[in-house]
Amino acid sequence: MALEGSILSEHIEGKLMIIGGAEDKEGECRILRHFVAEAGGRESRITVLTAATEYPRQVGAQYEQLFSRLGAKEVDVLDVCDRSQANSEGLVQQLNKATGVFFTGGDQLRITGLLGGTLAGRALHRLYERGVIIAGTSAGASVMSDTMIVGGEAGTPKKDTITMAPGLGLIRAVVIDQHFAQRGRIGRLLASVAQNPYVLGVGIDEDTAILVTENGEFTVVGSQTVTVVDASPSASTNVSESSPGQPLVLSPVFMHVLSEGYRFDLKRRVSLLNT
Amino acid sequence: MALEGSILSEHIEGKLMIIGGAEDKEGECRILRHFVAEAGGRESRITVLTAATEYPRQVGAQYEQLFSRLGAKEVDVLDVCDRSQANSEGLVQQLNKATGVFFTGGDQLRITGLLGGTLAGRALHRLYERGVIIAGTSAGASVMSDTMIVGGEAGTPKKDTITMAPGLGLIRAVVIDQHFAQRGRIGRLLASVAQNPYVLGVGIDEDTAILVTENGEFTVVGSQTVTVVDASPSASTNVSESSPGQPLVLSPVFMHVLSEGYRFDLKRRVSLLNT
């Protein structure tokens, strides 16, 4: 599988924390605690981006409180609500102070619609390149990849099961789905990778995250599972000839179900079970 | 994979039609029509076994009408409601007339509890061996295998996601799940095969069936998909050491998503895409 080097841009020094939604906010907060630690712990300056949500005040206040409680030095909530704001130097300067950026849930198209092709969008990429951790939950998880799932029904995988759109492109050749097992989304993830088996499908359960490191590997954090589907070995698919409502054919697909502490090499597409 | 000969008993001349539930009964009736044809069409004598359901009259009458409309020569509904009846020579003689047997849906434990270890149970195996097609939908599908799923929640695969029990054993080393994509059952199918990767998981969607032939292959019939999961390549699993509520690890699992007309070799565990 000649996918070496294709997952992350070159010269990336940051990490991604991609969360499947509904992460624990009341108990141990393993995922959010991990994020704060990766962002610098007591030295961290965290920027919360509420662009995805229709309730930026409530959601912003909740994460501000949480990250402060978990020991962050400074927490800023930035509610970007139009593209001119996303193009302002002031916003970019605020972003540039961050040692960790956190995208809340909501609607992924609000994030890309507001930030895509703006100075703030570019600043995010630069932050990530120079070592800042970028995290996102739910819609904030979906936007991480170059193509993202924006909608689709549960059930039998079909061509018209899903709608896709261009994401932020922090990670390449991967498509992320969230609330994965809880909302029965295996069918729509398979439909996504069937369209181009070069793309690896990563389904993340609630209260579960992947921490993607500079070397193109991820580690699972949280209480549930991460499911990886790799359709590149598939000998055949009917995706191009099938009519919209027709069920897909994909065989074989390599699947990996991983829980906390397990690692996966996104470039070689293998789990690192014994290392 | 040295699984040759393990799927079906030797000297089997019959076929199995294993239906994922909610098969079309009003439109083209592709699945039920196929069953009648395999049972002999205009020469068929079909026996409907309503043991699984709590509403044997209504369900029996419905299938009687359907199979007659689809051209069966004779349709008998047998409502086995206690084990002494299942041990009566009269019932066995009635069964022995059948050229096709059909198990309705309901509760799989009612079927095995009533028929397991009885003369009628043994007669079914002999019918199948000598060339009679045995079909079952929903609960009637689950009972086909030697170990069957009797309950379990949707969602993240966990050890305590499923409860299993001994089935009729018409097909071996396979575990069947039904209403598969519609009820988001991939997690419980994975949890089943994790317990013993020797067993192949077959998840059948609603209005979809597999027709298992004497050579240990199946062909998909119907409008949705069949998902096969093969955990035998898995390098590692945590099933034995994990505590009940802990999420499973399985990697890699080979998965096959197949729709109407596609074939699968249960012994070699490969799809026959190009034949």
In 3D space, the residue among A157, A153, A154, A136 whose CA is nearest the CA of residue A145 turns out to be A136
B222 touches chain A (CB under 8 A): no
Count chain A–chain B contacts defined by CB atoms under 8 A.
128
Residue A274 has a pLDDT of 55
Chain A environment of B246 (Cβ under 8 Å): 259
Chain A neighbours among B 111-170 (CB < 8 Å)? 154-157
Measured distance CA(B47)–CA(B77) in Å, rounded: 6
How many CA atoms, within 13 angstroms, populate the side-chain half-sphere of residue A233? 17
Kindly determine whether residue A181 and residue B259, on different chains, have CB atoms separated by under 8 Å.
Answer: no
- For chain A, the average pLDDT equals 93
Q: Span A69-82, mean pLDDT?
A: 96
Measured distance CA(A55)–CA(B206) in Å, rounded: 39
Nearest to B249 among A157, A253, A259 (CB): A259
B215 touches chain A (CB under 8 A): no
Helix or strand (DSSP H, E) at A125: helix A119-129
In this predicted model, what pLDDT tens digit does every residue of A246-272 receive, in sequence order?
898 999 999 999 999 999 999 999 999
- For residue A252, whether the previous peptide bond is cis, meaning omega lies within 30 degrees of 0, is yes
Measured distance CA(A255)–CA(B250) in Å, rounded: 8
Candidate list B38, B44, B142, B206, residue with the active-site label: B206
Q: Span A24-35, mean pLDDT?
A: 97
The CA distance from A249 to the nearest CA of chain B, in Å, is 5
Share of chain A above pLDDT 90, in %: 85
Please list the active-site residues of A.
Answer: 138, 179, 206
Low-confidence ranges of chain B (pLDDT < 50): 1-5
Residue A6 — very low, low, confident or very high, per pLDDT cuts 50/70/90? Answer: low
Measured distance CA(A83)–CA(B105) in Å, rounded: 56
**Overall pTM > 0.80:** yes
The total of other beta-carbon atoms located within 10 Å of residue A211's CB is 21
Nearest to A157 among B256, B257, B270 (CB): B257
Q: What are the CA-CA distances from residue B248 to residues A129, B177, B238 (Å)?
A: 34, 18, 6
> Hey, is A140 helix, strand or coil?
helix
Complex confidence, ipTM? 0.86
DSSP-derived pairing of the beta strands B45-49 and A100-103: unpaired
Chain B environment of A154 (Cβ under 8 Å): 181, 184
A191 touches chain B (CB under 8 A): no
In 3D space, the residue among A120, A70, A157 whose CA is nearest the CA of residue B181 turns out to be A157
Using an 8 Å Cβ cutoff, are A214 and A226 in contact?
A: no
Whether B34 is a known active-site residue: answer no
Instruction: Tell me the residue type at B231.
Output: A
Which two structure tokens, joined as six digits, stand for A25? 């906010």
Residue B157: closest CA among chain A residues belongs to which residue? Answer: A225
B246 touches chain A (CB under 8 A): yes
Q: What are the CA-CA distances from residue B108 to residues A72, A126, B166, B231 (Å)?
A: 55, 58, 10, 25
Q: Span A110-117, mean pLDDT?
A: 96
Q: Span A11-34, mean pLDDT?
A: 96
Phi, psi of B109 (to 5 degrees): -70, -25
Measured distance CA(B198)–CA(B196) in Å, rounded: 5
Kindly determine whether residue B255 and residue A255, on different chains, have CB atoms separated by under 8 Å.
Answer: yes
Residue B244 has a pLDDT of 75
A224 touches chain B (CB under 8 A): yes
Residue A4 — very low, low, confident or very high, per pLDDT cuts 50/70/90? Answer: very low
B184 touches chain A (CB under 8 A): yes
Chain A environment of B271 (Cβ under 8 Å): 235, 251-252
DSSP A41: G
DSSP-derived pairing of the beta strands B270-271 and B263-265: antiparallel
Nearest to A181 among B155, B181, B255 (CB): B155
pLDDT, greater one: B243 or A167: A167
Which of B251, B253, B256 best tests the A interface by mutation, with the highest count of A CBs <10 A? Answer: B251
A246 touches chain B (CB under 8 A): yes
Chain A environment of B253 (Cβ under 8 Å): 254-257
Residue B250: closest CA among chain A residues belongs to which residue? Answer: A257
Which two structure tokens, joined as six digits, stand for B34? 């196929």
Using an 8 Å Cβ cutoff, are A219 and A263 in contact?
A: yes
Residue B239 has a pLDDT of 79
Nearest to B254 among A184, A252, A257 (CB): A252
Q: Span A33-37, mean pLDDT?
A: 98
Kindly determine whether residue A154 and residue B181, on different chains, have CB atoms separated by under 8 Å.
Answer: yes
Chain A environment of B258 (Cβ under 8 Å): 249, 251
